[in-house]
Structure 1
Amino acid sequence: MAAWQSGCRECIDHWQRSLHSPQQRRSQALSKICNGSTPVSKLIFLCIIGLGSGAAWSQDIALPDIGASADRLISPEQERRIGVGMMREFRAHDLVLEDPLVNDYLRGLGYRLVAQSERQDDNFTFFMVRSDDINAFAAPGGYVAVNVGLLHTAETESEVAAVLGHEIAHVSQRHLVRAVESMQKVSLPILLGMVGAAIAAQSAGNGDGTQAALISGLGLMQQKSINFTRDNEYEADRIGIHTLYRAGFDPDAMAGFFSRMRGATRVQGREQPEFLRTHPVTASRVSEAKNRASAIRQQPLPVAIQPQANERQFQLIRERAHVLNALRPNELVEFYRGQIAAHPNSSLEWARYGLGLAQWRSHQFVAALATLQALAQADPNNPLFELPLAEVETELQQAPSALKRLQRMTELYPGNRAVMLGYADQLIQTGTAANGALASGLLRDVLNRSGDDPAVQSAFARAAELSGQELRALEAHAEVALQTGQLIDAMAQLQRLLRNPKIDYYQRARVEARIAQLTPYILEIQRELGKTTPRVGRS
């Protein structure tokens, strides 16, 4: 126990501003970790699973100077397992901004960069973290996260692309793998501290503290456990700027964003942003990024690639994420009104959009309807306007109008995940079996492309229930539990489904395959925690 306390101390001190009565909560945290009495504890073991027995694997990867020892320690498949486990934990604690419009934008931006990177065949998962801290990070398995705070602080789309390009470079060059030996030495103490602080916050009913612990913990892992070297950071800058330029963005954006973060902290005396703590930026690093951007501009772009930053869409998405993440959206109503009043001769579309969304989230539905209708009239059939407008119409008992609006959007944007989810949800709300069947049919295609999205699985489960597809609904509910970190609950649901006499051959095969995938995680938790859990395997 003393060793655990020592390992936790630094991390708990790092977050104690988020907590109350730190001493008491340290004790509670350590007790709960040892007893394994909270789902957060699984975070440790989800990471250890991938790191504990890596010597048996090796990968022949053509990358510069990674080293055979790192390849023996952790394989790409192990990295992916760690990333999947991290994502489940983030979702279990409501740390992921699950908005299809925002997520599709971030994914599209990310893959525009991946298409010009050195590892175009890699699978990446881009997601938005519900935190106002200015930060972004890369995690094992190709997971790249951007905090809402960073998106809201960025002034141009190229600045966001610059951060993404930097993080993509960390993944593509497997910097996480290069540092895996030092990671083994310090990741467990940091993870213990991170989980301890998270549990301490939970025991105090401090949801914000829990989120701060998990998010800051990952940042601290980057800084200390993963411990990117100075050379790795410069390499990520170099490759990121090259990718940025080839994708048609401003190559000066990386140096500009870094410089602005440093300047704001120095001049305004503000606390250093999380981004600068996990990505230390020196004057020489900014200067080198500027010089590299200047040099790369001398290289002609391929004919097929031309500057393509979409500043208008970026501004709208930036405000959408900001409003959806706000704890007090009514305060944003006043902010956006003030912005509009201060610039009477400017359209300020971004401010009007933010106002409409803030009014909607503040339950000012009549005002929101007027604001969003004006935007939709100026730009008909834009999903960013049409989808929230349908939500507001539904709140105002104008469901037929909302349904008609969304049906039209599915015809204009076939296969668009956000549009299909919006239309399916509206169909489900009608409560008829026929519309439930229609919704489930629409969502099957979306599931084929986004089966790892709990929002899609949840919508499909409700549609299947409504249309009488009981077994498909049960399977989808189990997937939701699995993807949101409720591993033991997911296993129990899958086992119940397997015992159902109505299950057919194909569904049985899917369920058995899922159980086989999940069993090692459950067994690891049982072994490490000594916890009584549902028996795994077939019943």
Structure 2
Amino acid sequence: MNHVLVPHFCRKGLLGLTAGLAICLATATPVFAEDSNLPSLGGVGGGLISEQQEAAIGQQVLQSIRRSTPEIGDPLVLDYLSTLVHRLVPYAQLQNRDLKMVVIDSDEINAFAVPGGVIGVNGGLFLNAKTEQEFASVMAHELGHLVQRHFARRMERQEQNAPLAMAGMLAGIILSAVTKSDVGIATIAGSQAAAVQNMLQYSRANEREADRVGLDMLEAAGFDPEGMPEMFEIMMRQSRLQGGEALEYLQTHPLTENRIADTRNRANQYPQREYDDSLEYHLVRARIMVHYAQTPEKAVEMFQEYVGRKDALPPPSARYGLAVAKLAADDAPGAEKILKDLLKDYPGRITFQVTLAETLTREKKTDEAIALMDEALRRNPGNYPIRYQLGDSLYAGNHAQRAAEVYGKLANDYPEKAYIWLKLSDAEGQARNIVGVHRARAEYYLLMGDQEAAIRQLREAQNKAPPGTPTHEIVTQRLSQITRAMHEDQQ
């Protein structure tokens, strides 16, 4: 099986950052747009922090997130987030549009965008944004920070401290992005702490810039600009309910009543029209609501009430949430009935099909689940959630070789998703392809930042692959590439 070679990552920890910046590169395609009143930021290499260095920082952030915080890997959630963000991207003056999405498993409101095109969101944002317009406004605001390169600009103003302080700054932003801001700061000793605190807290001018860019993006992409002040008001109310303690998001994004009023005034200046949420947003939100329910049984009770009330959630999402809750509560037959009824009303709806296949797989009806996903894939070639669930159903049904093929193609298409490499490794093991097991595990360890473990896995694969075969040659080349990169990183 031919795997795409993923970029190697900087070695464990932050000591190799300076060397890593010269190694972990990403291609940026310049995009030209009409002039605006916002400041010009220059192009690649136009300041202390180049686009290539930003890409390296982004890779380091992803590596740290994988190692230090739980993520939500739900393919339906990730696919929705990617679709929404890429609906906004054509209206963002981004030089690097190769964005990576991360969903942090936390019920607090938070979202972040860091150099290298990393977009992160906590599951809690889905919980608290009751409309798609509100949710999209946060994503647009974060893209605004990337468009204006706020983080890079702040680092450039710290030039007198670079590159010595760069590793500390990076450590702070990684930990603050995925936990609490004070945790990130607490890890940095001495005089660097103040510098990092300054780096993490966007100024009011930065926030106004990101608001303006985000509002333009929202309107151009067909979202309601009013969603931004509405979401800010939700955050302000939540902060007050917590006794004045700033929400995780507000610790790095200062919010004032004046700023809310300003965004509302700006939103009112756009042409008035009707805006409708997509059904998909509310289906994904229902999945998140089940995920964070106190117990699956409580989730069943909650959605049963929503179905009965008819006005709490859009009707299909209430019924769908009940099905997801029943599946979580081990009532797969109950979930199956609801999902099949939903598919009668919404034939071909991918989210309902994927969840039904998940349910059938749980009931050990794997042949039915596989047939359902095969048909769905014929109608929707390349769809990520369908392919992911097909792999899971094949693996559960002991169709190991085909499961490995599905996971292998997914790993080729989404090489940054570490958990897919683990699934591929398991499927290769079930298929008794030991060389494939070691190759997949090597890629997983690379994504986790452990190059030495990756090299050990590839040496095992090299020893087990027959000499002179294409597989042996591919493994040898990959081993040489990673070994060379590790040596460069240590210099």
Q: What TM-score, normalized by structure 1, do the two folds share?
A: 0.74
Contact persistence 1:320–1:357 (CA under 8 A): yes
Could you say what secondary structure the match of 2:269 adopts?
Answer: helix
Which residue, 68, 72, 82 being the options, matches 1:97? 72
5+ long unaligned stretches in structure 2: 1-10, 33-37, 187-192
2:291 alignment partner in structure 1 = 324
Q: 1:141, CA displacement in angstroms?
A: 0.8
Q: Which moved further from structure 2: 377-386 or 61-70?
A: 61-70
Which residue, 224, 228, 231 being the options, matches 2:198? 224
Q: Aligned partners of 2:344 and 2:127: how far apart in 1?
A: 26
Which residue, 102, 117, 130 being the options, matches 1:127? 102
Map residues 105-504 of structure 1 onto 2, 5 A cutoff.
Answer: 105-119=80-94, 121-181=96-156, 212=179, 217=184, 224-266=198-240, 269=243, 271-297=245-271, 310-325=277-292, 328-343=295-310, 348-431=315-398, 435-502=399-466, 503-504=471-472
1:222/1:194 CA distance change after superposition, 3 Å:
closer
Aligned residues: 457
1:361/1:474 CA distance change after superposition, 3 Å:
same
Q: Which moved further from structure 2: 109-118 or 396-405?
A: 396-405
Q: 1:274, CA displacement in angstroms?
A: 1.7
2:35 alignment partner in structure 1 = none
Which residue, 74, 93, 101 being the options, matches 2:49? 74
Q: Aligned partners of 1:408 and 1:119: how far apart in 2?
A: 37
Q: Aligned partners of 1:61 and 1:248: how far apart in 2?
A: 21
Contact persistence 1:148–1:322 (CA under 8 A): no
Q: Which moved further from structure 2: 486-495 or 310-319?
A: 486-495
1:264/1:60 CA distance change after superposition, 3 Å:
closer
1:505 alignment partner in structure 2 = 473
Q: 1:224, CA displacement in angstroms?
A: 3.4
The one-letter amino acid of 1:512's match is: S
The one-letter amino acid of 2:66's match is: R
Contact persistence 1:356–1:371 (CA under 8 A): yes
Q: CA RMSD in A?
A: 3.8
Q: Which moved further from structure 2: 342-351 or 212-221?
A: 212-221
The one-letter amino acid of 1:330's match is: E
Could you say what secondary structure the match of 1:341 adopts?
Answer: helix
Contact persistence 1:190–1:217 (CA under 8 A): no
Q: Aligned partners of 2:51 and 2:312: how far apart in 1?
A: 54
Q: Aligned partners of 1:333 and 1:319: how far apart in 2?
A: 11
Q: Aligned partners of 2:229 and 2:374: how far apart in 1?
A: 44
Q: 1:444, CA displacement in angstroms?
A: 4.2
Contact persistence 1:169–1:239 (CA under 8 A): yes
**Larger helix proportion of the pair:** 1
Q: What TM-score, normalized by structure 2, do the two folds share?
A: 0.80
Q: 1:386, CA displacement in angstroms?
A: 1.8
Map residues 27-106 of structure 1 onto 2, 5 A cutoff.
Answer: 42-45=12-15, 64-66=39-41, 71-106=46-81
1:315-345, Cα deviation, whole Å (9 max, x unpaired): 1111213323556333222222233334489
Q: 1:419, CA displacement in angstroms?
A: 0.6
Q: Which moved further from structure 2: 466-475 or 75-84?
A: 466-475
Q: Aligned partners of 1:218 and 1:498: how far apart in 2?
A: 43
The one-letter amino acid of 2:383's match is: N
1:69/1:168 CA distance change after superposition, 3 Å:
closer
1:26-51, Cα deviation, whole Å (9 max, x unpaired): xxxxxxxxxxxxxxx95544767667
Q: Which moved further from structure 2: 313-322 or 86-95?
A: 86-95
Could you say what secondary structure the match of 1:415 adopts?
Answer: coil
Q: Aligned partners of 1:321 and 1:510: how far apart in 2?
A: 39
1:518/1:342 CA distance change after superposition, 3 Å:
farther
Contact persistence 1:51–1:74 (CA under 8 A): no
2:4 alignment partner in structure 1 = none
Contact persistence 1:424–1:439 (CA under 8 A): yes
Q: 1:421, CA displacement in angstroms?
A: 1.5
